[in-house]
Amino acid sequence: MRTLLFVVVAVIAATRIARAYPQYQLSRDVTCTGCHLSPSGGGLLDENGLAVADSTAWRPAAPEFLHGAVEPPGWLTLGGDVRAAAGVVDSGVFAPAGYPMQGEVYASAGKHGFTVNVTGGLRRPLEGGNALHVLWSREHYVMYQRDAVFVRAGRFMPVFGLRLAEHIAYTQRYGGQPLYGEAYGLAAEYVTKPFEIHATGFVHDPFSTEVEHGDGGALYAEARLGEHAAVGVEGKYSSSDDQHLTYGGVTGKVHLPGPDILLQAEGEVIRRKIVAGAGDISIQLAGYLLATHPLPSGLLLDVGVGHYTQDTRTAGLYRDCVDANLHWFQTSHLEWLVTTRLELLNKGSGTNGGYALLQIHYRL
């Protein structure tokens, strides 16, 4: 069984990808497009997103790009994210950890409903053990938007599931949206307050295939149940020379207005078929539940629990985790995050561990 130290080194030592904070869905806004330019959330904020970032922060500040020091023309939107982390990792023995996590800039340019969207920055390669960062473009696509309809073509992450900001959530890491899971695709998306649907066909990136080696499609649909709840269904299929992966799952969101708590849950079943030999088939399970509560002075508390079964045929091949994250949005540009995890392998009888990290995130 792999230890937690291996998991941390192999996964979060690489550049972390900034996605949306779905903690604000239902509690602050209904859809990701209420704050973001992208129909999947994450990346550049629109005017409402900038206002929300400023209103939820402890100290008001100019939320615009570079604090308003540079004002791009109306057809151009710019932004970026820089992150780093330091703390301790416990895999039986405490050990210090520290690393850069993200350095990316975003640009969206266009008129009359057409935009060209590019994300560029630094990435630490996952293969070969090379610690040097290289320039790369995680996402680059052309998008057309007309009212609630979006059509995208290029390199991006197919929309699937909750799309949590923390890629270490089990449904992200082992499910349909892993770190570096972007692929070249064509997506048709429809996003309104009553419901949204995202359909994507994709092929793997021939130049960067650390995660997504296959070709296939993904579908995610979500419907609102009144003002304070939503349910979703998800499916994804990926086929390569080595294996066929089929994902299916459900999501649920409930906002409790009284205590101001947002509950989000996702469960997935993953069918993995090895092409070589006798065509071995295994079933994996992944689930995650996240509870979020905003606190005064720009604080946001997350508590999550997760489960992952690597192979339902073999006893002991599973893990459980408890996460606690405390965000402090000092300003609309500066976020501090204390993130902790306790992970148990095989109900605690395996090699257990955890970590505690302090992250700093600066939005350009």
Give the three-state DSSP class for 53.
Answer: helix
Whole-number Å distance between alpha carbons of 267 and 286:
6
Paired with 199 in beta bridges are: 188, 219
Q: What is the pLDDT of residue 27?
A: 64
- Identify the residue whose tokens are 């309104």: 192
Q: What is the pLDDT of residue 13?
A: 36
> Parallel, antiparallel, or unpaired for β 149-156 and 183-191?
antiparallel
- Closest CA relative to residue 164, chosen from 175, 154, 148: 175
All structural domains of the chain with their residue ranges: 4-363
C-beta of residue 282 within 8 angstroms of C-beta of residue 311: yes
C-beta of residue 65 within 8 angstroms of C-beta of residue 81: no
Predicted TM-score (pTM) of the model is: 0.88
C-beta of residue 181 within 8 angstroms of C-beta of residue 172: no
Q: What is the DSSP string of 55-110?
A: HHSSS----SGGGGTS---TTEEEEEEEEEEEEEEESSSEEEEEEEEEEEEEEEEE
Q: What is the pLDDT of residue 53?
A: 87
How far does CA 111 lie from the centroid of its chain?
A: 28
Whole-number Å distance between alpha carbons of 336 and 361:
6
Q: What is the pLDDT of residue 245?
A: 94
pLDDT in tens, the chain (364 residues): 333 333 333 333 334 554 567 777 776 666 788 888 899 888 898 898 898 889 889 998 899 999 999 999 999 999 999 999 999 988 767 789 888 888 999 999 999 999 999 999 876 655 544 455 567 888 999 999 999 999 999 999 999 999 888 888 999 989 888 877 889 999 999 999 999 999 999 998 777 655 667 899 999 999 999 889 999 999 999 998 888 999 999 999 999 999 999 999 999 999 999 887 777 999 999 999 999 999 999 999 999 999 999 999 988 888 999 999 999 999 999 999 999 999 998 765 666 889 999 999 999 9
- Closest CA relative to residue 317, chosen from 342, 277, 283: 283
Residue 3 per-residue DSSP state: -
C-beta of residue 361 within 8 angstroms of C-beta of residue 82: yes
How far does CA 327 lie from the centroid of its chain?
A: 16
Give the three-state DSSP class for 10.
Answer: helix
Give the three-state DSSP class for 132.
Answer: coil
Paired with 296 in beta bridges are: none
Domain 4-363: give its CATH architecture.
Beta Barrel (2.40)
Angle (CA) 213 219 221, round 5°: 150
Number of neighbours of residue 40 by Cβ within 10 angstroms: 26
